Structures are given as C-alpha cells and as structure tokens.
Amino acid sequence: MYKIPANTLFVGKNLVFVPECHSTNTIAMELGQHNSAIEGTLVITDRQVTGRGQRGSSWISEPGKNLTLSLIF
C-alpha cells in the first residue's frame, strides 16, 4: 500500500494506492475502523477482483481499464 500526498483542499488529501486488492470499499472500511483515515481519504487501485457495485452486484475490473476507487466522507 502506498500513501501519496496530494496538493488538494479536501478530497484526495490522503491518497492510498494499492496495485491490486479485493475491494477498495473493504480497504476504506478497515482504514476507518483503525482511525487512520481522515475525511476525504481516497483509496484507489489498478485492479480489484471482488469489488461490490450497487444493489449487491459484483464489480471486477481489468487492470488499467476502469476507475476503481472509494472515497471516505
């Protein structure tokens, strides 16, 4: 997991990049549970293999072909 500083006011101020993961939502939830994520933290990945979409649908991405991210508010 890489933490990349961003020059923004709010969203993405804390940017967490993971090359591959199960789900960016899972990582965002874990960061929130450990109080290591500030509001506006953005979790991004090149590829997620068991992501979750709306209404229970799955979201599997091919590397470099989708925007795969979760934003913590």
> Which domains does the chain show, CATH number per domain?
2-71 (3.30.930.10)
Assign residue 56 a region: left if phi > 0, alpha if psi is -120 to 50, beta otherwise? left
Mean pLDDT of 54-73: 81
Has this prediction a pTM greater than 0.85? no
pLDDT digits (tens, 9 = 90+) for 4-60: 666 766 676 788 999 999 889 899 999 989 887 888 899 999 988 887 777 877 777
Q: How far apart are CA 57 and CA 67, in angstroms?
A: 16
pLDDT of residue 5: 64
Q: How far apart are CA 27 and CA 22, in angstroms?
A: 9
